[in-house]
Structure 1
């Protein structure tokens, strides 16, 4: 009896990784971390073909532009690096947190931004504040001669003057860009109580969670693109060609 011929699924290449990658769909509850942005993996992705390698990328991270001109650093363009430029990690100049994955980097100024921070919304809304908060690229205390420190109005911790802030100028109210910047959920509130503010109110999320929800909202569109790409790869594979240098369209879904 003839043995079954092994299925040769087509693969693609990405400059961040030595091994070929294949299309991968993460499932809810998988608890997989993207090797690029270091956020939870959601929706369409690419996974390493090697069984002992756990390298995986969001499709949006796979498609990140190689260079971007960012409002936070107008002097020079920022270049996408697939590993930290200073060793095993770097400190993000936007949020002040460490990173070990992709970064947008200015080598001349040693300026680094998480790829997740690079595309956070320019305005957010907190349920406990009357006005939208606007993203600014340093604290309002930067350059003050009296040495005053800006204090986050949510966690009440001092903030370095160069960190990005979500800020309301009218009220002199500001927060960290991730852990304290909470978005208002526009779902109807549940529960009783005066003013409709009983228990079980709408969900809120950090800026990182908001980005992930935006990526999830784009999942259907990404799935269509992935299906088309899979069909193209299957056609190439059937023709006996090797897919070694597929060039993605430069787009992302933050």
Structure 2
């Protein structure tokens, strides 16, 4: 019985792939890239599942991501996890961080709204005591009335794209890029942050470094998934743009 239980933990099925995904040996996973978030095994932990014959691999956190989420950035509709972009270009631009993506995304087909899976799961609030003494809130739209406002990140001194998400303390007018809120922010000097486009990679690092927060968030989203499944029939009955197709 003990052996059977151990084996079951080392194999998992995922909707994005027809074959069983098996736990990858840590020594072999160092050079792998996740098909979901398109990032490597940055945590140096044995957290990759994969199908070697197809060269298809997923981080454990990515594999366990919910199929549906109700996200504050898009309150009108729930978002569906898609394993590949549904646009003819086979890529999308994330409405969260502004970077392009070719892997998994949470998407609303009705609104052409797409965000990276890891952007959808980053914390809604963060407390970074080394950078600021107040809690920072994840901002989805510019809080400034003047559309010509130029806002500078208080960590790296680079401009913040106000069409993208960022963390902000309204009381102090203190804000930062998503990647500057990563635990790795203290490691990189400002000049190196300027040179490196690490938005998506740092977002994944932040998720994997705060597993407790991630697990609580996923638990809440799985609860929301139960309700979202009840609305799936409504979504199926609505024709989206002709250039899109759907995964369920």
* CA contact 1:103–1:113 (8 Å) conserved in 2: yes
CA distance in 1, matches of 2:146, 2:136: 26
Q: Return the alpha-carbon distance in structure 2 between the equivalents of residues 157 and 47 of structure 1.
A: 38
Q: Give the TM-score normalised by structure 1.
A: 0.63
Candidates 106, 120, 123, aligned match of 1:121: 123
Q: When the two structures are superposed, what TM-score results if normalisation uses the length of structure 2?
A: 0.65
Q: Distance in 2 between matches of 1:146 and 1:214?
A: 34
Whole-Å separation in 1 of the counterparts to 2:165 and 2:115: 11
> How far does the alpha carbon of each residue in 1:143-188 deviate from its partner, in whole angstroms, 9 at most, with x for none?
x34522333222333333331111111110111112x114499xxx
Between the aligned partners of 2:98 and 2:111, the Cα distance in structure 1 is 16
Residues matched between the structures, number: 189
Which runs of 5 or more residues in structure 2 are unaligned?
1-7, 186-200, 215-221, 224-248
Pick closer, same or farther for the CA change 1:153–1:212 going to 2, 3 Å: same
Report the Cα distance in structure 2 between the residues aligned to 1:155 and 1:20, rounded to whole angstroms. 43
1:97 aligned onto 2:99: yes
CA distance in 2, matches of 1:210, 1:17: 26
- 1:80 aligned residue: 81
Task: Please say which structure displays the higher CA radius of gyration.
Answer: 1
Give the alignment of 1:107-118 within 5 angstroms: 107-118=109-120
Cα distance change on mapping 1:93 and 1:107 into 2, 3 Å: same
Q: Which residue of 2 is the match for residue 64 of structure 1?
A: 65
The answer as to whether partners of 1:20 and 1:49 remain within 8 angstroms in 2 is: no
Contact 2:30 2:40 in 1 (8 A): no
SS at match of 2:206: helix
What does 1:49-198 correspond to in 2, within 5 Å?
Answer: 49-50=52-53, 53-86=54-87, 87-124=89-126, 125=128, 127-141=130-144, 144-145=145-146, 147-178=148-179, 180-183=180-183
Measure, in 1, the Cα distance between the counterparts of 2:151 and 2:85: 29
- DSSP-derived class of the 2:111 partner: coil
Flag the structure with higher helix content.
2
Partner of 1:192: none
Q: Give distance in 1, aligned partners of 2:115 and 2:95.
A: 6
Q: How far, CA to CA, are the matches of 2:22 and 2:138 in structure 1?
A: 37
- Distance (whole Å) between structure 1 residues aligned to residue 143 and residue 115 of structure 2: 20
- Quote the Cα distance in structure 1 between the aligned partners of 2:211 and 2:131: 26
Does residue 1:43 correspond to 2:46, yes or no?
Answer: yes
**How many angstroms apart in 1 are the aligned matches of 2:212 and 2:123?**
16
**Shift in alpha-carbon separation, 1:54–1:163, aligned structure 2, 3 A:** same
